[in-house]
Amino acid sequence: MSITALFALLAFSSTAPAETDKSAIAAIEATCFDYIDGQLEANPQRVARALHPDLAKRAAIGDTPDERLGLRRMSKEELVSLTKQGVLKTPKEQWDRTCKILDVTDNAASVRLETPWFVDYFHMGRFGDRWIIVNALWYSKPKK
């Protein structure tokens, strides 16, 4: 197989966001913004609708006295509760966030959310006509 043929095969082997249905892109972006904007405005209902009931939200924290390869774990209920408490509530004029769709293939999407405080990497699933966050791996940015 020639190198050109190999690149052509790789180029068409997955669905890039640009090739995905525009309504799917809009729905994925809306879910990402429901997640972050809901937290920034302290709107727990908005955050809850973006999350799968069995959400797995984690941050790698490394080895701890109790766990090798430790993870900070958070459930949907915990995130919604923190939102209700207004932990990230921020005046709208100070909002600085981006949602970037990394990949969409059939009923699965990968998305990167960045704020001044943290970065989240999402796995979203399509359930009917809704896209919701199933998994999230995040890290806190160093404080400046």
DSSP one-letter string for 35-53: HHHHHHTT-HHHHHHTEEE
pTM of the model: 0.83
| Residue 2: predicted pLDDT | 54
| Residue 66: predicted pLDDT | 82
123 contacts 137 by C-beta, under 8 angstroms: no
Closest CA to 43 of 6, 89, 10: 89
| Residue 68: predicted pLDDT | 86
| Residue 144: predicted pLDDT | 74
| Residue 13: predicted pLDDT | 44
| Residue 65: predicted pLDDT | 85
| Residue 106: predicted pLDDT | 95
Give residue 39's identity as a one-letter amino acid code: Q
| Residue 17: predicted pLDDT | 56
| Residue 91: predicted pLDDT | 96
CATH architecture, domain defined by 18-52+76-133: Roll (3.10)
CA angle 17, 22, 24 (to 5 degrees): 75
| Residue 63: predicted pLDDT | 81
Below-70 pLDDT ranges, the chain: 1-19
| Residue 69: predicted pLDDT | 87
CA dist., res. 136 & res. 96, Å (int): 20
